[in-house]
Amino acid sequence: MSLVVVGSVAFDAIETPFGKTDKIIGGAATFITLAASYFTKKINLVAVVGGDFLKSDIQMLQEHGVNTAGLQIKEDEKSFFWSGKYHNDMNSRDTLVTELNVLGTFDPVIPEEYQNCEYLMLGNLAPSVQKTVIQRLRKRPKLIVMDTMNFWMNIALSDLMETLTMVDVLSINDEEARQLAGEYSLVKAARKILTMGPKILIIKKGEHGALLFRENQVFFAPALPLEDVFDPTGAGDTFAGGFIGYLASTRDISFDNMKRAIIYGSAMASFCVEKFGTERLQHLSKAELESRVQEFVELVQFEIALA
């Protein structure tokens, strides 16, 4: 049930209407591995950071069961840095700074002990790097989940389309699905994207929940209505981490189990946004998680006796 996660491990500086942070740990793979760590402990990280990265942050990941053998530390370079400011409605943000730094030349290294992993989560990265990771695994994993974003559709579409043919599940947001398919209707967009390679498509709609598509099946998971969204950074990655972590821990990739995985992913995301960055994800109890999942059950369950 080993899981390999590739993606950025980075510094974020975040400003929201509730406050601002200095440079804190962020990055897709950080949120993914932390979220997955509440389900499985065999999490193998593939990423790169600079010499400026904090040893204490790496230790924090290790304490959550993350194997950092595949985390390259380039002592003479700087870590990927992103800074952004959220608007009052929290649904839109301005990117203030993007410094690729070590990520600009990222050549992923797969330690021998990562070979034969069953689950692979490709966090948002250049599609060519995602492809390289797949190619460097000698045995194809049982399930490959890929996240991406509109940025790569704009500048690396052919790489993206090629990598898409190699994965099982694609996870993107609604605007990205519309852009990738050239269809406004999400149902039509999903049908089109499911011809591009992935057999399963997850469309994330932020505060409006998430849709799971396979062939002619569709499942919808709501987002939990929250009083306050403190910081949305990493919510999508946290969702993906909960999804793949749950699948890896249950070793069941049926559609019914993916429904459960989406609910667990949504529950993890609902925690993520309660504090800045990874703060809430670093300290979460099993009881809190189960109670949150129970809230999802109560939110959507109804009983109708049909004729």
Given the rule CB under 8 A, which residues bind a second copy? 88-90, 184-188, 205, 208-209, 211, 218-222, 225-229, 256, 259-260, 263, 286, 290, 293-294, 297, 299-300, 302-304, 306-307
Per the structure block, which two tokens stand in for 166?
A: 């190699």
What is the closest distance, in whole angstroms, from the C-beta atom of residue 66 to a second copy in the complex?
24
Give me the least distance between CB of 98 and a second copy, in Å please. Answer: 27
Nearer to a second copy, 103 or 221 (CB): 221
In whole angstroms, what is the distance from residue 248 CA to residue 119 CA? 6
Minimum CB separation of residue 217 from a second copy in Å reads 8
Pairing label, strands 169-173, 200-204: parallel
Q: Which of 67, 168, 73 is nearest to 114 (CA)?
A: 67
Taking the least distance from each CB to a second copy, the nearer of 81 and 239 is 239
Residue with Cβ nearer a second copy (139 or 286): 286
**Helical ranges in 165-254 per DSSP H:** 174-181, 186-193, 235-250
- d(CA 178, CA 291) in angstroms, rounded, equals 34
- Give the nearer residue to a second copy in terms of CB position, either 69 or 300: 300
Task: Report d(CA 104, CA 307) in Å as an integer.
Answer: 60
Residue 159 vs 220, nearer CB to a second copy: 220
Residue 266 is inside which H or E element, if any? helix 255-272
Closest separation in Å from C-beta 149 to a second copy? 21
CA–CA gap between residue 55 and residue 238 (Å, rounded): 22
CB of 184 to a second copy, least distance (A): 6
Amino acid at 58: I
CA–CA gap between residue 29 and residue 181 (Å, rounded): 26
Residue 201 forms beta bridges with which residues? 170, 213
- Taking the complex as a whole, how short is the minimal distance between the CB of residue 47 and a second copy, in angstroms? 31
Q: Are 277 and 231 in contact (CB under 8 A)?
A: yes
**Which is closer to a second copy, CB of 57 or CB of 176?**
176
